[in-house]
Every structure is written in structure tokens, then in C-alpha cells.
Amino acid sequence: MPAAKRSDRVPFVDLSRLVSEVSEAVQIEWRECLTSCEFLGGPRVSSFERALEADLGVPHAVACASGTGALIVGLQLLGVGPGTKVALPNLTFWATYEAVVQVGATPILVDIDPDDLQMSFDEFLRAHDQWRFEAAILVHLFGWSSARLADFRRVCRERSIQLLEDGAQAYGVAIDGEPVLKGATVGTMSFSPAKVIGGAMDGGAITVTTPEAEARARALCNHGRAGHYSHAYAGWSSRMGGVQASYLLHVRAMLDEILESRRSAARFYREHVAELRGLRAYGPPRGVEDNGYLLPITSDRLDGPALFEALTESGIGCARTYPAPIDAQPPARHANRFGSLEHSRRFCERVVNPPLFYGIRQDECERALEALGGVTPLREFAKVKKG
């Protein structure tokens, strides 16, 4: 097959399709932010927090400067610090691990369920029998969540495990018809530009259930502030301002369209990839509605890098989320773990993600699918590569 012309390429992500929809309205607001010097906090940040509470079904949301900042503050709210053992899945974005290390706690890596790709509930229980960790981070990964969410929450209550829920990839995800972070003791969100509700810069939020926790989260994000130059905690500077909040409010006003666009593309891939021999597309378990954030595909005949290369050669932008599990990253090589972690490792060796973003066109999905179909008789391809 001739190499695709550059103009023919289907991008993995094209943020400009969303930006162009909000750009005009945002420019007006950004000028107003300049005029009123609305740089940190302010009415737009408050409005965005109220919008978050409505969308996420949570009593209190506190905006901050990043999803990682939210994780760090969330861990502190739960009393996690030096000496605390914290279980987390071996398959997640690195920030989940990073946050545990940055508060001085000790990570314990747990394997995933090979079908839903979330932390395995059974492994989690066995890991707790062995390690007796005091805290855990459940990550709602890839745009859905474990069907065992209620079981995770129940067991954590019963065994006094402080549970933080990393919802960075889960804006718009619902379980049994309810937003996934509703019912989380402490939840976190990221508004990094490529997330489902993506900002114009880094951004995040912490969700909590009581006014006391909200006040503490706000203080921790703002140098532990108790009053004018009086500090109740050693906290952080992790705050949002009007420029980011106004952009996010306009993006969030498009939530229904964003979810519809992403979900229908994800649905298209899932339906049709299932018809291709040797390929598997992953999605939410029964009872969970995804947000179309990512579409992981594996092949039983080609590894991830070879699939990635084949798709790229046919002009299809793609990604490998994630090419390596946490325990394969150098700083985590000697991290505590439970069991062999084989499912997370095997998934990472094989995964590839096709283009998926707000505004992706049907013909682009079809071309990505066609390219996937083209690499399905993979034996030939594998031979050529090796020879």
C-alpha cells in the first residue's frame, strides 16, 4: 500500500475541532478576565465548581491547578502520609503513582481484571490480606469503571481502608445511571487539555462529601491558609483562575455533544472491531456507561508496537495507552506489589488506541477501521517485519 499523503492522515486527537466551537465566546471572557484581573479564584471559578457539582453528582467540588495536585490533596484529606501503605492498580497514568510517592506514602501495586482493565476486586482483597494497606486509589480508567465499584467502596468501609477515586478520565461516566464519582468519599478530576472535559492549560478538581472536607481541601490548595498570613497546614499552591474556568465552562456547556460524539465513535469501533478476526476492543462492563475517552484494542497475533507501526504506515494516528505498566517505569521497579501483575503487563505489550476525539467524522472512523482490517491477516505482516 502506498504511504498515505500527509493531508490524508487521520489524526489521533484533533483538539482544534472543539476549540473552534468555543473560541469566539472564550475570547470575550478572556478580555474580561484581563480587565477585572480575575487571575486566581473569582466568580468564574465558583461557577465552574457549581457546574462540576451538578455534573458529577457530588456535594462539594474544589477546583485546583491539576489532576495530580488534586490527587495529592485528596490523599492528604484521607490522612495519607509517610508510612501509609496505599494500594493502586498497576495499569494507570503515572500521576496516580507519583501522587502516592510525593506525599511520602508507600505504593502497593495490584493487578487488573483482564476483561474490564480496572483494578481487580479479587486481587485487591487478596492484596489486602497480605499487605494490610491503610489506603487505596481506585482509578476509573479509559472512560469507564469497574462494575465492582460498590463492592470496592463497601470493603474499604468494612476494612477501614481510606479510598480515593481517581476520576481523571471519567467525566460523564455513569454506573447504574449515576455519575461515577457520586458516592466517592474523595474523588479527583483532571482538566488536562486532552481529557473529555479538557481545559486551556492544566487543571483539576477534588470532590468531597462534607463542608469540613471542602474547607480543608480549599485550604490545602491555597498554602494551608486559615486567614490572612495564618496557615493551618503545610499545603500547596494549586489553584484555578478565571482564564481556565471560563474556557472550561464553555467546553462543559458542550458536554452532551462531546459525549455523543465520543460515545458514538467508540460504539462504532467496538461493534466493527468485534467482526475482525484476532482483534479485541475493550469497553465498559454491564451497568457502566462509558464516556468514549479511549478505545483500547489488542491483537492476539501482533504486539502493540507492530500494530501501532502498521496503523501509522497506513496514515492512521494512534497511541499506546499505556505502553508499559507502572512497575516497568524505572522509579517503580522495586515498588511493593501483590502477585505477578501479569494481566497489566500483557495488556501493555499489546494495546493500541485508534483515533477518538470530539468531532471525529464517520469517514475517519471508517478509515481507521479499514486500516485495522488491513492488518488483521497479520501473519504476512509479522513475517515481513521479522525477515
Ligand X SMILES: *Cc1c(COP(=O)(O)O)cnc(C)c1O
Contact residues for ligand X, defined by CB under 6 A: 66-68, 92-93, 95-96, 139, 166, 168-169, 190, 192, 202, 204
Nearest distance, CB of residue 35 and ligand X, angstroms: 28
Q: Which residue is nearest to ligand X (CB)?
A: 67
Nearer Cβ to ligand X (120/314) = 120
Nearest distance, CB of residue 171 and ligand X, angstroms: 11
Nearest distance, CB of residue 26 and ligand X, angstroms: 20
Nearest distance, CB of residue 85 and ligand X, angstroms: 20
Nearer Cβ to ligand X (84/321) = 321
**Beta-strand pair 135-139/85-89:** parallel
The closest alpha carbon to 87, from 112, 117, 58, belongs to 112
Nearest distance, CB of residue 141 and ligand X, angstroms: 6
Nearer Cβ to ligand X (196/208) = 196
Q: Return all residues near 96 (Cβ < 8 A) that are at least 6 apart.
A: 71, 88, 89, 137, 139, 166, 326
Tell me the one-letter amino acid at 101: V
**Beta-strand pair 225-227/230-231:** antiparallel
Count of Cβ atoms closer than 10 Å to residue 334 Cβ: 8
* CB distance 103 to 134 below 8 Å: no
Nearer Cβ to ligand X (190/244) = 190
Nearest distance, CB of residue 8 and ligand X, angstroms: 30
Rounded Cα distance, 145 and 179, in Å: 11
Nearer Cβ to ligand X (268/282) = 282
Rounded Cα distance, 48 and 62, in Å: 9
Nearer Cβ to ligand X (55/309) = 55
Tell me the one-letter amino acid at 29: E
Rounded Cα distance, 180 and 183, in Å: 8
Report the SS3 class of residue 80.
coil
Helices 67-77 & 211-221 angle (0-180, nearest 10): 130
